[in-house]
């Protein structure tokens, strides 16, 4: 499935050198190549758009689909994850990511979360950072309006109603800003990577002579917890920790 990007697509005027072509034309050509089953060419065109420092969730989604059709699980999952950073909670991207994950060699079962942690993760992932921040500002305005009503109204009943609504708006404002902060941390400050090589051996310390701990394969996701020289310290969802060569991973 191909998604239209947020770019304004112009009429297709013919093929041009990739770096000289308008990004809208490249996207249109890439979408057509994908529909025609020319997945390698679609990948080349989508990547050419990204090289022009332009990005969109739909662009990463389409690129992930093209890589998946080529059975390149590492790049496919990398681009699905990048799409989710821009558009968290997108159902199509989440579904395709799970389909791709089912084809990977590793079966990494995450450490179970407490029920309220699962609920909170589902809640803050519903919107992106900017949406949560805008909601927080909106509830702040509401709270100020209701507080103004509290001082303006003269009847006891209306004063109580205005004060209650002001406190409720402040609560919703706090929740929205906290969700924005959490989403920002997960999107922009938490360092995660995808294994891009067929297999990578995790060591007990950053060095070739260090004992092997475990092996991870293409498409596996890891959190970067440290780095030294040409090595990353990674933590898997199941809690395993080890050191892997940087060239085996690509940052999301």
- Name the H helices within the chain: 23-35, 39-51, 57-69, 73-86, 91-102, 115-124, 129-152, 156-184
Determine what percent of the chain is predicted with pLDDT higher than 90: 64
Residue 28 pLDDT > 70? yes
Coil/strand/helix, residue 8 = coil
CA–chain centroid gap for 121, Å, is: 14
Beta bridge mates, 196: none
Write the pLDDT tens digit of every residue in 176-234. 999 999 888 877 777 899 999 999 999 999 999 999 999 999 999 999 999 999 999 99
- Rounded to the nearest integer, the mean pLDDT of the chain is 87
pLDDT of residue 2: 67
pLDDT of residue 62: 95
CATH of 18-102, one of 1.20.1250.20, 3.40.720.10, 1.25.40.10, 3.30.230.10: 1.25.40.10
Residue 121 pLDDT > 70? yes
Write the pLDDT tens digit of every residue in 140-169. 999 999 999 999 998 999 999 999 999 999
Residue 106 pLDDT > 90? no
Residue 109 pLDDT > 80? no
Same-fold call for 18-102 versus 192-251: no
Structure tokens at 4: 């239209």
CA–CA separation, 82 and 32 (whole Å): 22
- Binning pLDDT at 50, 70 and 90, where does residue 89 land? confident
Write the pLDDT tens digit of every residue in 35-65. 999 999 999 999 999 998 888 999 999 999 9
* pTM across the whole model: 0.69
pLDDT of residue 206: 94
Mean pLDDT, to the nearest integer, of 65-83?
95
Domain covering 192-251, topology: SH3 type barrels. (2.30.30)
Please check whether residue 242 is in contact with residue 214, taking contact to mean a CB–CB distance below 8 angstroms: yes
Contacts of 132 (CB under 8 A, 6+ apart): 124, 176, 177, 179, 180, 183
Q: Where are the chain's structural domains?
A: 18-102, 115-189, 192-251
Mean pLDDT, to the nearest integer, of 63-88?
94
Residue 78 pLDDT > 50? yes
């Amino acid at each position: 499935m191909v998604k239209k990007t947020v770019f304004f697509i112009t009429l297709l005027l013919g093929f041009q050198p990739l770096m000289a072509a308008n990004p809208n034309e490249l996207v249109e050509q890439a979408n057509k190549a994908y529909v025609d089953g020319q997945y390698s060419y679609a990948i080349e065109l989508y990547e050419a758009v990204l090289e022009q420092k332009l990005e969109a969730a739909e662009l990463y989604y389409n690129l992930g689909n093209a890589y998946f059709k080529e059975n390149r699980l590492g790049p496919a999952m990398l681009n699905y994850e990048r799409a989710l950073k821009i558009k968290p909670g997108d159902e199509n991207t989440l579904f395709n990511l799970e389909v791709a994950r089912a084809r990977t060699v590793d079966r990494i079962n995450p450490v179970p979360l407490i029920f309220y942690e699962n609920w909170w993760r589902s809640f803050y992932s519903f919107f992106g950072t900017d949406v949560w921040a805008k909601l927080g500002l909106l509830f702040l305005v509401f709270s100020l309006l209701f507080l103004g009503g509290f001082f303006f109204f003269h009847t006891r009943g209306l004063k109580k109603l205005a004060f209650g609504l002001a406190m409720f708006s402040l609560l919703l404002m706090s929740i929205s800003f906290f969700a924005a902060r959490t989403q920002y941390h997960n999107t922009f400050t938490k360092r995660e990577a995808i294994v891009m090589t067929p297999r990578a051996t995790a060591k007990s310390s950053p060095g070739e002579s260090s004992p092997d701990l475990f092996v991870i394969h293409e498409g596996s996701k890891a959190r970067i917890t440290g780095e030294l020289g040409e090595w990353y310290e990674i933590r898997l969802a199941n809690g395993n920790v080890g050191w892997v060569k940087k060239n085996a991973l690509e940052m999301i």
